[in-house]
Structure 1
Amino acid sequence: MKSFLSHVVEYILTTNTNISNLTLVLPSKRAGVFLKHELSQQIQQTSFAPDILSIEELVEQISGYTSVSNTELLFEFYSIYKELTPKNAQEPFDSFSKWAQILLQDFNEIDRYLINHKEIFNYLSAIQRIQQWSPDKEPSDLMTNYLKFWDKLEQYYDALTDKITQKGIAYQGLVYREAVDSLEFYLQKNEDKKHYFIGFNALNTAEEKIIQEFLEVGLAEILWDTDHIFFDDPEHDASLFLRRHRYEWNYFQKHEFSWIADNFSSEKNIEIIGVPKNITQAKYIGEILQKLQQEDETLQDVAVVLGDEQLLIPCLNSLPSAIERLNITMGFPLKDIPLATTFNNLYLLQEHHRNDTFYYKNIINVLSDTNLRPLFQQKDQNIAANIIEYIQANNIIYVATEVIVERFPKETQEIAQLLFTYWNDKPKTAIQNCVTLIRHLKATLIEEREQHLLALEYLYRFNEVFNQLQLLTKQHNYITDIKSLLALYKEIISTETLDFKGEPLQGLQLMGMLETRVLDFKTVILSSVNEGILPSGKSNNSFIPFDLKKQFKLPTYKEKDAIYTYHFYRLLHRAEHVFLLYNTEAEGLSGGERSRFLMQLETYALPNHTVTQHVVTPKVPKIEHAMQVVKKETSVMERLKDIANKGFSPSALTSYIRNPIDFYYQKILGINEYEAVEETVAANTLGTVVHDTLELLYKPFEGQIITTKDIKAMFSKVEELVIKNFKKTYGEGTIHRGKNLIIFNVAKRYVTNFLQQELQTLKSGKTLRILQIEQNLQAKVEIPELDFPVYIGGKVDRVDELDGVLRIIDYKTGKVSQSDVEIVDWDLLTQDYKFSKSFQVLAYAYMIYQQQGFSGDTEAGIISFKNLQSGFLKFGTKESSRARNKNQLVTAETLDGFLVELKQLILEICNIDIPFTEKEV
């Protein structure tokens, strides 16, 4: 089947002997490339090519004005705004730009549709006054200023259009308005030149006037691209605009409305495919292309059309590797380029600056940035990793510039200064630093240019962006702080794109919906055919309300939906095989609902159309979760012997009871948990501080009877020692504000409450002798079955003697109750982690017994600072869980029972035939 452009060229060549004197006008520049190619294929003799223009280029020629960029227009508008607004009421550029963009879009729309601006602005102002009117009270100052804004819209418009037209520039809508005014002059000047308007559909009022005038004076023909199926159906939106043109234009009252084809009813194979999630759509497109490539290696007549252009990168990553030729007709938004994240990280670093220091998370983000990695890499060391380790080890939350810079080697300290020096809220400094950074990055990549072609292209485009920012800040003095600069930077990178260069006429075509205008393909793969995307649905980014748009015949969502309807069905006119993919899952506020276009295709399927539907699901392998098992090899056994010789600690043994795999990772492999910077004091840090404070308070009294006077003297030292221990354990993290201040006071309260309890004990007449504080213990465990010595070792928090009873005490800052230190069944001691606290205190008791024996009654237990009112929680044994009678003395018989379980546990750990097997925790 012939394409539309093929028909157009054939018609033009048969009706014109000299094509060099023609002007061919198309909806887009992209279509011009294909039209020129079609001309070269059909023309039989050497000739100069006709002028091939997009409608925007023609309108610029007619008006004599050059279109201005959105960014430049925004600055011009801000200068007008400052002139017309009292100084005390002026907004800074960053907040102005948010509403100004919407207003400029409205100006653009008003001009494109040739609306009388005075009339519509008067309407708008009147509507706002009616909405805010109240018979009971006078308007507030805020409301008065609000109404003044609406009254000033006409002033803003007049002043802006006067200023920019004097410079010979205009925004797109104004170019259209001026073109209509200058059309008569253009027609007189080009009265011997014929124009062909090709493949148009929805036209704004200015375009309609221009084309109609061309037609009326006989200097043009218009070649439509529509189908009888849609044109003859008065309810179908695919020809909504064309039917309006047919019945409302005077020209078609006397002339035939031609170029209505009959292609859509031809044989077509349409597959409607539901795919969960966007990424899966991209993957499935890759699978479709792989099958198509087996039929046609070149994929010459295949187009992948992305309804949602954010699928570009996933789609590129999913293409079959065998595809050699690919043409991408959409730009890659700069905001989605990885380098944009780098500059965003630098801004966040500056934003969280405080007293010549930077927030550690932002520093780590910059140091970890993959784009900056070449700047930090040295042959012998990873500078970034070393600095991150230093920050974490010292728990520094806010880091000074000099602390970072001095840790860089001298040859890279210039880079460090560039990245980690405060910009002092000066936009010019920020831009210059970013430009310098780009130069440094280019210097590191250019040495291996072939490997970094894409990265160098990214750098080039961002260098252009910062050069543009530099020029704008020099020309206009409105960017006075980093916040305003960021607003402008985000505006530029959201509108600018990185354009891909390729051979436009060969291989697979990857494009957006608007790039398909007037183009035809045998096979079409269209993604994201969901409501809210195709069509885009109701969106109102305008100050002009719906009713007013209807009144002045401005386009509403109804017309915008009709535009998408036309493009969708026109793409299917001459296609033979169509794959329509839609997202079956809701993603945020979009997705999940199939487009109405799909329902229409199903409902109104034509006899020659084969419409099939199916839902695909990603091939997810079934992963059966099996508990990890690690066999004990020779190297593991050697490590176990080494640990046994140094001494198994009670905490190591209880970690094995909890989960043998944890024991394997921590004790055999030496893998510790990741130590992150603690912004808020962690529970283990609080415990360490309390332990260390009590050690400093009680250590001087080892071997002595302690008195009430001694305890009272300790109270005055508590705050000083708690601060000292926080500094030692918590590094440079602050404890003077927020949650940390609360936790600091909790630590003080724990210690003082404990001292109060000690004081009450002594006042009740009891005698307390401190024997050992934080004493290192070790004892040999005789296990004949093992051919190597086994020891257990650890540090006991406190051993004292209260009224002649020896007490072995372990401090816990967490909540512990009496039931946690009682056992009924000795077998459970080494099988259930619930009894880990009993296991620990018995291990300390066993080590003390081995070193010095027990001369009298002995108790072992825990003091819980969260349960201090319960006092000393003594280890005890009971005959049953419900029994009230319990034995709370630790005797030789008690330790014999413990030793049986201890030996059994160590034998299991050291048995080469019993692997480390993961437990469900």
Structure 2
Amino acid sequence: MITTFILDVLNDLKKNNYNLSKVTFVLPSKRAGLFLKHQLVHVIQDTIFVPDIISIEEFVEDLSGLKTTSNTELIFEFYNSYLALTKKEDQDTFESFSKWAQILLQDFNEIDRYLIPQENIFNYLSDIQELTHWSVEANQTEFVKKYLQFWNKLYTYYKHFTKQLLDKSIGYQGLIYRKAAEHCDTYINNLTDKQHVFLGFNALNTAEENIIQQFLKSGLAKVYWDIDSVFINNPKHDAALFTRQHKKNWKHFEKHPFEWVTENYSKEKNINIYGVPKNIGQAKYIGTLLKNIEAETKSLQSTAVVLGDENLLIPVLNSIPPSVEALNITMGFPLKSIPLASLFESLFHIHKTSGNAFYFKDVVKVLSHQFVRPLFYIDDIDYASKIIETIDSNNLVYLTLNRLKEIDKHSNKILDLLFSNWNTSIDLALKNCALIISKIKIHLDQNKDANLLSLEYLYRFNELFNALSLLNSQYNHIKDISTLFGVYKELLSSETLDFQGEPLQGLQIMGMLESRVLDFETVIISSVNEGILPSGKSNNSFIPFDVKIENKLPTYKEKDAVYTYHFYRLLQRAKNVYILYNTEADVLTGGEKSRFITQLELENIHNIHHEIIAPHVPVITPELKVVQKTEDSQTRLKEIASKGFSPSSLTNYVRNPIDFYYQKILKIKEHDEVEETVAANTLGTVVHNTLEDFYKPLENSFLSVDIVKKLKTQINEKVTFHFKNEFKEGDITKGKNLIIYEIAKRYVSNFLDLEIENLKAGNEIKIIKIESNNNVLIEIPELDFPVKLTGKVDRVDEYNGVTRIVDYKTGRVDANKVEIVSWEDITTDYTKYSKSFQVLTYAYMMLLSNEITLPVEAGIISFKNLKAGFLKFSKKDKAGNGAKKDALITQETLDDFYVELKTLILEICNPNIPFTEKEV
């Protein structure tokens, strides 16, 4: 077992014949007290009463006679003072107030902890504002006057606020420290021979310094420091910045020894520094280190993982090797990281915006939440899925509560809780939150053993909302959902879910501040990056930097020195040290490796192994899926063949056989999602259906200019009708959808203009068929089951006596997409020849059904390339420019096509040819 600071202190006290039962130990944290209690058994063999062991916060509370209150309650109390001292017309809302009040409370806290004369510093700040910004102006604007009034009122705010707190015997940390320092003499005078031992302190505020020095002066206290000679003898080493000041400035050390300057840091250590990319990389590597350490030492009893960035807690927990059994986590698990937090975040987000209609994505997010979804199961029917499917199929972009109830008449109560207008009253919103928790609890109670952790989540959130209800009823400052959301987030950020574990056994996981006074043989420190360790410059204060210097208030330099001390103190007695930093610089979460690492290397005291860890990334060779055909798939293929292969399904197979397998064999359909913006296929359907309405009544008749002009007058009506039919309840009155709606009308209008142009040029057009359905049997002797082709032809007409088979495309198609050189290519290259394959299939089906006589033309009209007119399929004699093209489809053309079509269908139906994925 390694020697520890706590054990050394206890041995020293025993050696000096202290009665440990009558000693009050004051430590920087409660956790340190737990370790001290554990170490007592190694020093005392006799049975004794356990001494008083308290943290410095508990000690000053006892001295002051005040109780600490939460930061949230302080904001509410402060707002009371603000309202009492501010004219009604100048008052900020509670939400606006809370944003700047947080900063001011931090300044109050600092001023009190360092015992700065309050009136002096607030008046000084006010004078600075007048001199710096506004005094040169003869006529001050209303804004300037209010700005200066704010600074002039700071001391008044402080006095009123602190008086309110003192009347209730509560306070913030700084106020408690100030009062403790004031009451210290009285407290000491009432003591008899009770000894106090202060140990493990470093950076002390002025109140703490005064209190400890008064106890030392009275002879009722002893103080132990933990600093190494390497640090205290180097006037530039920040690890001993505060200790050097205490040793130099405290009168006590003029006549008494300074205990202790140790010689531990210089002893041999195994220090390894690892640069690891990203936070997750660090978490994973911590898991690897723990696995190796456990394999070597067979125990993690004196091992600590210290997280520089506490957000790494969950990734680290997920990376701990399964062999680690004993584990203690000092840090709490932040409530904001619990899945239940995301539910209330979503609900507040929905309700804080005005209006009664909810955006569909927000609704789906709530209904899909893991804690809400089960509440919609009634008689084994998932009504949440029913609502989501209806939203998708009807393109419901915005929904009201009534519309949701129309969709699902069985879940009205839970829908009311989730979506009724919370803005009606804050009490109603909080009541709804409590009822939602209650509903979830009833569901989880059905299988308690499997849901213990989830029930613990619920309990903590129930406490949180009870606290909100209490604050609201007591102060009544929350007037709207937005403010409630702000207070909720403030509470949430400070609340944690505490872990249960063996505090003195096995692996210890903690934050940097929890490591105070504790010593470990093996230490792993993560996130040792600038901006994290140390945190660097931040100016979250109304007090300027130079004023802080003048009043001896801590600046970023002092705060960095605090972390320097903690970092080096962890290293003092450790034998094995592993320091990890993120190699990927990020301006938000820290930059390059910390100055602590550079300083360690420059000290040249220890042999340091520095290594950049590259994660092992296995080379995964992409394997194309291959699905063998089974009896079931052959049966399914026969069903498809008997119903008919469509041109699109055949070209789908050409594009990628595995897609054909999914869609046709397994019947997996793409999920219909809400179209906020009209999709391309919806636009195509609207244009197709509009032209069908126009031309269907004209079958077997010739077109005229007058007929087509008359159709143009109906464009608006027909396109609107089909948009409503296809886009369901989606909105086409604004934004991109309105533009697409106008594009659809323009497509139809331009097409009709093309018809008029052709007719005026003397061309004769006769409509033969519109949206002609075909289902024909084709002869494939090699197969012992019938095979059909099926499909719908957009238009068949006669153009100057030549029959044309026309396929509409709303996308752009160029002439080269309907030309082929070699017949073999038509069933192998989807990108180039799928359009040719489609129009030839239509021609072949219509020939078999005796709806056309050869020769004919087949091709495409592209609405994005209307100027090109009718793009005819053509067979080119050879590749290259100037090749001869044959646009007429004859029996020979279709015979050649039949050979390729038959080959393709035989491949699809061949049981020995698997469905093999193509590289995209």
TM tier, smaller: over 0.9
Conservation of the 8 A alpha-carbon contact between 1:479 and 1:485: yes
**Match of 2:256, as an amino acid?**
H
Q: Deviations over 1:152-179 (max 9, x none)?
A: 2222212211221122222111111122
One-letter amino acid matched to 1:739: K
| SS at 2:541 equivalent | coil
Residue 884 of structure 1: CA displacement? 6.2
Q: Do residues 43 (structure 1) and 44 (structure 2) align? A: yes
Cα distance change of structure 1 residues 616 and 212 upon mapping to structure 2, 3 Å threshold: same
Residue 363 (structure 1) aligns with: 363
Deviation, 1:263, is: 1.2
* Aligned mates of 1:648, 1:396 — CA distance in 2: 34
Question: How far does the alpha carbon of each residue in 1:846-890 deviate from its partner, in whole angstroms, 9 at most, with x for none?
Answer: 222222264575221111111222222222233333016533222
Structure 1 counterpart of 2:715, which letter?
Answer: V
Pair 1:134–1:811, CA change in 2 (3 A): farther
Aligned to 1:864: 862
Question: For 2:865, what is the secondary structure of its paired residue?
Answer: helix
Matched, 1:469 2:468: yes
**Residue 840 of structure 1, CA deviation:** 1.2
Distance 1:628 1:248 in 2: 77
Aligned residue for 2:525, secondary structure, equals: strand
Q: Can you list the C-alpha shifts for 1:771-801, whole angstroms capped at 9, x where unaligned? A: 1111101333322333333222210001112
The residue aligned with 1:756 is: 753
What is the correspondence of 1:181-330 to structure 2 with a 5 Å cutoff?
181-330=182-331
Matched AA of 2:788: Y
The equivalent residue for 1:915 is 914
The answer to whether the 8 A contact 1:63-1:175 is kept is: yes
Matches within 5 A, 1:45-124: 45-124=46-125
Match of 2:783 among 783, 786, 800: 786
After superposing the two structures, state which structure 1 stretch, 838-847 or 610-619, moved more: 610-619
Could you tell me which amino acid in structure 2 is paired with residue 372 of structure 1? V
CA 1:170–1:908 in 2, change beyond 3 Å: closer, same or farther?
Answer: same
Moved more, 54-63 or 634-643: 634-643
| Distance in 2 (alpha carbons) for counterparts of 1:707 and 1:734 | 36
Q: Structure 2 residue aligned with 1:641, among 614, 629, 638?
A: 638
The 3 A distance-change label for structure 1 pair 878 and 139 is farther
> Which residue in the other structure is 1:447 paired with?
446
Match of 1:796 in 2: 793
1:483-511, Cα deviation, whole Å (9 max, x unpaired): 00000000001011112233322222211
- 1:763-912 → structure 2 map (5 Å cutoff): 763-833=760-830, 834-852=832-850, 854-855=852-853, 858-879=856-877, 880-883=879-882, 885-912=884-911
CA offset digits 1:715-773 (Å, max 9, x no partner): 23222211211121111111111111111111111112222222233333333221111
Query: Structure 1 residue 628 and structure 2 residue 614: aligned?
Result: no
Partner of 2:594: 595
- Tell me the SS of whatever aligns to 1:271: strand
Residues 439-448 or 334-343, more deviating:
439-448
**Partners of 2:27 and 2:55 within 8 A in 1:** yes
Shift in Å, 1:651: 0.9
The answer on whether the counterparts of 2:809 and 2:861 sit within 8 Å (CA) in structure 1 is: yes
Displacement, 1:398? 1.7
Give the residue type in structure 2 aligned to 1:737.
K
> What's the CA shift for 1:191?
4.8
CA contact (8 A) 1:352 1:358 kept: no
Within 1, Cα distance between the matches of 2:374 and 2:843? 57
SS of the residue aligned with 1:860?
strand
Q: What is the rounded CA distance, in whole Å, between the counterparts of 2:498 and 2:861 in structure 1?
A: 69
Aligned to 2:585: 586
Inter-partner Cα distance in structure 2 for 1:885 and 1:144: 87
- Report the AA paired with residue 873 of structure 1: L
Instruction: Give, as a single letter, the amino acid of the residue that structure 2 aligns with 1:664.
Output: Y
How far apart in 2 are the matches of 1:535 and 1:378? 54
Deviates more, 1:289-298 or 1:308-317: 289-298
Sequence identity (%): 56
Secondary structure of 1:419's counterpart equals: helix
Structure 2 CA distance for partners of 1:445 and 1:556, relative to 1, 3 Å: same
Aligned to 1:377: 377
- 1:685 to 2:686 alignment: no
- After superposition, what is the alpha-carbon deviation per residue over 1:120-159, rounded to whole angstroms, capped at 9, x for unaligned? 2233333333443486885543344333322222222122
- Aligned equivalents of 2:153, 2:354: Cα separation in 1: 39
Q: SS where residue 487 of structure 1 aligns?
A: helix
Query: Secondary structure of 2:115's match?
Result: coil
Q: Give the whole-Å Cα distance in 2 for the aligned partners of 1:157 and 1:400.
A: 47
Q: Distance in 2 between matches of 1:787 and 1:247?
A: 104
Offset of residue 67 of structure 1: 1.7
Please tell me whether the aligned partners of residues 628 and 661 of structure 1 are also in contact (alpha carbons under 8 angstroms). Answer: yes
How do 1:716-755 residues align onto structure 2 when only pairs under 5 Å count?
A: 716-755=713-752
Q: Distance in 2 between matches of 1:103 and 1:796?
A: 75
Whole-angstrom CA distance in 2 between matches of 1:785 and 1:881: 37
Taking a change above 3 Å as real, the CA distance of residues 839 and 40 of structure 1, as seen in their structure-2 partners, is same
Note the residue ranges of structure 1 that are not aligned, 5 or more in a row: none
Structure-2 change in CA distance of 1:900 and 1:136 (3 Å): farther
Match of residue 604 from structure 2: 605
Secondary structure in 1 matching 2:780: coil
Residue 457 of structure 1 is matched in structure 2 by 456
* 1:484 alignment counterpart: 483
How many angstroms does 1:217 deviate by?
2.5
User: Corresponding residue for 2:537?
Assistant: 538
Structure 1 Cα separation of the partners of residues 504 and 6 of structure 2: 14
Specify the alignment match of 2:387 in structure 1: 387
Secondary structure of the residue aligned to 1:505 is: coil
Say if 1:277 and 1:587, in contact at 8 Å, map to a contact too: no
Mapped contact 1:352–1:359 kept (Cα < 8 A): no
Cα distance in 2 for residues equivalent to 1:371 and 1:53: 41
Determine the C-alpha separation between the residues in 1 that align with 2:342 and 2:652.
42
Match of residue 552 from structure 2? 553
Q: Distance in 2 between the 1:130 and 1:818 partners?
A: 78
Letter in 2 for 1:211: I
CA deviations over 1:351-408 (Å, ceiling 9, x no partner): 4564x33221111111111122332335633222222122212221122323433555
CA contact (8 A) 1:584 1:591 kept: no
Cα distance in structure 2, aligned partners of 1:75 and 1:106: 17
What CA distance in whole angstroms lies between the structure 2 residues aligned with 1:785 and 1:134? 101
Q: Give yes or no for contact 2:116–2:551 (8 Å, CA) kept in 1.
A: yes
CA contact (8 A) 2:390 2:407 kept: no
Corresponding residue number in structure 1 for 2:493: 494
Q: Deviations over 1:490-537 (max 9, x none)?
A: 000101111223332222221111111111111212221222211112
Residues 321 and 475 (structure 1 numbering): CA distance in 2 closer, same or farther, change over 3 Å? same
In the other structure, the counterpart of 1:334 is 335
2:436 paired residue number:
437
Structure 1 CA distance for aligned equivalents of residues 619 and 290 of structure 2: 27
> Secondary structure at the residue paired with 2:305?
strand
Partner Cα distance (1:857, 1:118) in 2? 103
Asked if 1 retains the 8 angstrom alpha-carbon contact of 2:529 and 2:591, the reply is yes
Given that 1:353 and 1:359 are in contact with CA atoms closer than 8 Å, whether structure 2 keeps it comes out as no
TM normalised by structure 2 equals: 0.96
Shifted more, 299-308 versus 823-832: the winner is 823-832
Asked if the contact 2:386–2:408 (Cα under 8 Å) also holds between the matched residues in 1, the reply is no
Question: Aligned AA for 2:397?
Answer: I
Q: Find the aligned partners of 1:293 and 1:252 in 2 and give their Cα distance.
A: 45
Contact 1:804–1:856 (CA<8 Å) still a contact in 2?
Answer: no
